[in-house]
Amino acid sequence: MSFRQLPSVDALIRAAGTAYSDVPHELVRDAARTVLAQARASIAAGASPPDLTALVAAIHNELATVLTPSLRPLINATGVVIQTNLGRAPLSEAARAAMQTIGAGYSNLEYDLAAGERGSRHVHLESLLTRLTGAEAALVVNNNAAAVYLALIALAAGREVIISRGQAVEIGGGFRIPDVLRASGAMLVEVGTTNRTYSHDYAAAITERTALILRVHSSNFRLIGFVHEPSLAELAAVAHEHSLPLLDDLGSGTLIDTRQFGLLAEPTVQESVAAGADLVTFSGDKLLGGPQAGIIVGRRDLVSKLRRHPLARALRIDKSTIAGLAATLYSYLRGTALREIPVWQLISTPLADLQQRAETLAIRLNAAGIPACAVACESAVGGGSLPGATQPSAGVAISPVVGNATELASRLRAGRPPVVARIVDKQVLCDLRSVFPGEDEMLATALMNAWQALQ
């Protein structure tokens, strides 16, 4: 063992000199201890003791790791537009500017400028949401799971909620509808079967203990074949005949008809309100294209009850989220969402544009000695939206000469910026449906750097 050849913590810090004079001493000391511990483990495993230069360099790497935020921007080359693991919806320029402006100073978040007294943060979004959806009132909390939970605990705690057996599902991230119902204090009453449920099944299950009827839209799965479920209007008729509210959990939620892009029809929020849903919940950061939020629109009396519930304060959103969501909603109000909101920019990009970009990128990579080719592929909207639906897309496929596709994909993720791609048929595929045109140059550089690292 050559442990005695290692310097002490203080000696190693002195050897590092003044390079870290602007870093708190405690961090430098912890980094030195970590580096020395790693050196001892390496020596114990049979390695030679590192020299002082290597130890100082290791301190630099350790501090860089500690002081570099783990959350960082990347290029999404998966083709999945609303990639849950990659932050879901990118924000529009207007949303980013609004969040920066409001976050940088004071604002009238809860102050009525006209009256000169305390106001409500809810007023900044409610009129926008009611105008866009046709609902009487609106409330925004921190995500759609919170929106559903708040509605259940405020309206159905200690009582029964009727739901189709085919909708008692796990939506994602362990979010299971039956668990949410139990946590809210509501009692689940399943009706129908997994594949076929009728309006009379709901009607037959109504008792004096029934609080509401819940419809959960299948936003991230599809049942096909021998299936049936009542329309939202039919459910509304059953609920209202028995003086019960109908809660429609849309999950992703959209204000735009998705069929115009060759996609399946995703029910819009406006359609749910018009069909008679008393409350509709949906996400702000999926097809809406804004920051993370859970949006509730519907009857004024029910929304007011949710707003007064003590849990509403715990689930409320902050000033920056309000600013970003308001800016996003104004894009819809102006009729400019398709050209201003990134999610819709990507979804509506013509296939010919993607093909041209893929060919240009492939030529650039070929010139650098990389065996790349433009290919046709299929992209998904993602984010629990339009399950099973894809769009024609185009990308660049690379077949590694040295190593394999997994190694090349790993090199891409380790780059600056990181690039997340797909592996298809032992090739690395960069699907341009989810890559912004302004990122093409960075993507090309990242691919060349990753390729060079493998050689």
> Mind listing the pLDDT tens digit for each residue in 306-327?
999 999 999 999 999 999 999 9
Q: What is the pLDDT of residues 30-55, one digit of tens each?
A: 999 999 999 999 998 888 889 999 99
Highest mean pLDDT among 38-52, 213-227, 333-347: 333-347
Label residue 87 by pLDDT band (50, 70, 90): very high
Top CATH class, 75-84+349-454 = alpha beta
What is the average pLDDT across 138-166? 94
Count how many residues are written for the chain. 455
Q: Please give the angle made by the CA atoms of 41, 47 and 49, to the nearest 5 degrees.
A: 80
What is the average pLDDT across 73-99? 96
Burial label for 195, CB within 10 Å (0-12, 13-18, 19+), is middle
Label residue 401 by pLDDT band (50, 70, 90): confident
Higher pLDDT, 136 or 198: 136
Domain boundaries, the chain: 3-67, 75-84+349-454, 90-340
Higher pLDDT, 220 or 339: 339
At 195 the pLDDT is 82
> Tokens for 79?
């083709």
At 5 the pLDDT is 85
At 220 the pLDDT is 57
What is the average pLDDT across 175-195? 83
Cis ω on the peptide bond leading into residue 417 (within 30° of 0)?
yes
Determine which helix (DSSP H) or strand (DSSP E) holds 430, and give its type and residue range: strand 427-431
Instruction: Report residue 320 CA to chain centroid gap.
Output: 17
CATH code reported for the domain at 90-340: 3.40.640.10
Expressed in angstroms, the distance from the first to the final Cα of the chain is 36
What is the average pLDDT across 350-374? 96
Do 111 and 119 touch, CB atoms closer than 8 A?
yes
> Strand pairing of 427-431 and 385-398?
antiparallel
Q: Is the pLDDT of residue 172 over 70?
A: no
Report, in angstroms and rounded to the nearest whole number, the Rg of the chain calculated over CA atoms: 27
Long-range contacts of the stretch 343-348 (C-beta < 8 A, 24+): 343/81, 343/82, 343/89, 343/90, 343/286, 343/287, 343/289, 344/256, 344/289, 345/436, 346/81, 346/433, 346/434, 346/436, 347/81, 347/258, 347/261, 347/263, 347/381, 347/391, 348/261
Q: What is the pLDDT of residues 423-446, one digit of tens each?
A: 999 999 999 999 999 999 999 999
CA distance 75 to 442: 9
Higher pLDDT, 107 or 6: 107
**199-208, 285-294, 377-386: which range is least confident on average?**
377-386
Determine which helix (DSSP H) or strand (DSSP E) holds 451, and give its type and residue range: helix 440-454
Share of the chain above pLDDT 90, in %: 75
User: How many Cβ atoms sit within 10 Å of the Cβ of residue 257?
Assistant: 14
CA distance 255 to 31: 51
If DSSP states are collapsed to H, E and C, what string results for 329-361?
A: HHHHHHCCHHHHCHHHHHHCCCHHHHHHHHHHH
